[in-house]
Amino acid sequence: MAKEHAIYEAGNPVLYTIGYGQRSLEALVGLLRRYEIRRLIDVRSAPYSRFKPEFSREPLALELERQGVAYEFMGDTLGGQPRDPACYTDGKVDYDKVRAQPCFGLGLDRLQALLSQPGKLVLMCSEARPEECHRSKLIGEAAGARQIEVRHIDADDLLLTQAQTISRLTGGQLELFGGPSFTSRNRYRPTLGGKRRPQ
């Protein structure tokens, strides 16, 4: 049982993140085993993949369950492409605006409640490089503000702290006044049904 509670460093819960990128589902499951992760939270806004259908929501959840890993979808509250147009500036997702949304706060509350339970959990998105994903620029920054330790599993299967990941993103050059303000890499335009696609 002591091993199960090894999710704390310096008294704080530890939140892991991963992006599947070019990995196979088998490789992803192998990494979850290596880091003793028992719960995966899917934070993709649209949890489907045309190019890697095994990572679409239903088949992914079934395979993870078969492997003894619990699956939960939270892309509706913690996703990187919210439907609310107020979260966009010049077509890019403005993460400061997303953090101000009540639904994002509710998602973080749910995440914090899950972190208080036994067993490690990981957030999953599609981008393998955490410095290029909302896992670090949005969720990692917001989690840090709540004293949650974040560890990103990068494209080379190594663990990075939130600070190391942001340093990769900024080249070690933070703003002189206050913290950095981040946006999505891509610009998006509205489509039918409120969904957005890259411009």
Q: Would you state the pLDDT for residue 139?
A: 97
Q: Would you state the pLDDT for residue 6?
A: 37
Q: What's the rounded Cα separation, in Å, for the pair 52 and 22?
A: 9
Instruction: Tell me if 73 is assigned to some domain.
Output: yes
Residue 9 CA, distance from chain mean position: 20
Instruction: Tell me if 2 is assigned to some domain.
Output: no
Distances (CA, A) of 92 to 6, 34, 74, 84, 146: 38, 35, 21, 12, 25
Q: Is the pLDDT of residue 8 over 90?
A: no
Q: Tens of pLDDT along 45-62?
A: 999 999 999 999 999 999
Q: Give the 3-state secondary structure of residue 52.
A: coil
Q: Find the CATH number of the domain harbouring 121.
A: 3.90.190
Range of 63's domain?
8-186
Q: Tens of pLDDT along 60-86?
A: 999 999 999 999 999 999 999 999 999
Query: What pTM did the predictor assign?
Result: 0.84
Total tally of structural domains belonging to the chain: 1
CB 77 within 8 A of CB 109: no
Q: Would you state the pLDDT for residue 189?
A: 62
Instruction: Tell me if 194 is assigned to some domain.
Output: no
Instruction: Tell me if 196 is assigned to some domain.
Output: no
Other beta carbons within 10 angstroms of residue 196's beta carbon come to 22
Tokens (6 digits) for 175: 């703003």
Q: Tens of pLDDT along 96-125?
A: 999 999 999 999 999 999 999 999 999 999
Predicted confidence band at 193 (pLDDT cuts at 50, 70, 90)? very low
Predicted confidence band at 90 (pLDDT cuts at 50, 70, 90)? confident
Buried b (16+ CB within 10 A) or exposed e, 18-56: bbbbebebeebbebbeeeebbbbbbbbbebebeebeebe
